[in-house]
Amino acid sequence: MKKQRKNGNFYLAIACIMIVILFISSSMTYDQQSQVGLIERLLSGQPLKQTFSGISFHYAGSQVSIESLGYVKFVEFFIRKGAHFTTYFILGGSLFLGLMPKLKQKTYVLPGIFAWLSATGYAAMDEFHQMITGGRTPLFQDVMLDSIGALTACLLIILYFSLRKKH
């Protein structure tokens, strides 16, 4: 296992698993993915509704607030967008860690840029896939959110290795 981590294969396998998960996910309609029923059951008392009721912003041309969406869909919005960020964080980070030993660079710049751009490119293709899937809405804003997730992972890895190198 340690050898696979050292040569990057373990992390590239994680990246491949994430790509499969993302492909399957974007093949599903909104209704197949919806967590509204589960959220209604788990948060039946609508905890923190009063606290969150003051939050309102626009995302992809639509208002996001409890008033406009209702409590459950408001919570689901954050779960869905958190999933976007998290899955691409994992994809970007695992690509970076998998490519580092393969590219054999003295700096982290090339593997970081390649991992980030690859994850961003996959995010764009994933939104295109959603466009041809019924009941889904492809959003440029989601590509940007995915890209930020991948970039965050790459920057944290660079920071970690830079600090580790100094000590």
Give a yes or no: residue 44 inside a domain: no
| Predicted local confidence at residue 18, as pLDDT | 98
pTM (2 d.p.): 0.91
Q: What is the pLDDT of residue 73?
A: 95
Inside any domain, residue 62? no
Domain extent, residue 11, equals 2-34+80-166
Is 155 inside a domain boundary? Answer: yes
In a domain, 74, yes or no: no
Is 91 contained in some domain?
yes
Residues of the chain with pLDDT under 70: 1-5
Task: Name the β-bridge partners of 65.
Answer: 56
Nearest Cα residue to 11 out of 101, 110, 109: 101
Element of type H or E holding 58:
strand 56-59
**In this predicted model, what pLDDT tens digit does every residue of 103-131 receive, in sequence order?**
877 788 899 999 999 999 999 999 999 99
Q: 53 lies in a domain?
A: no
Which residues contact residue 71 at a Cβ distance below 8 angstroms, ignoring those fewer than 6 apart? 43, 46, 49, 52
Would you say residue 66 lies in a domain?
no
Could you give the number of structural domains in the chain? Answer: 1
Residue 161 forms part of a structural domain: yes
Per residue in 79-98, pLDDT (tens digit) is: 999 999 999 999 999 999 99
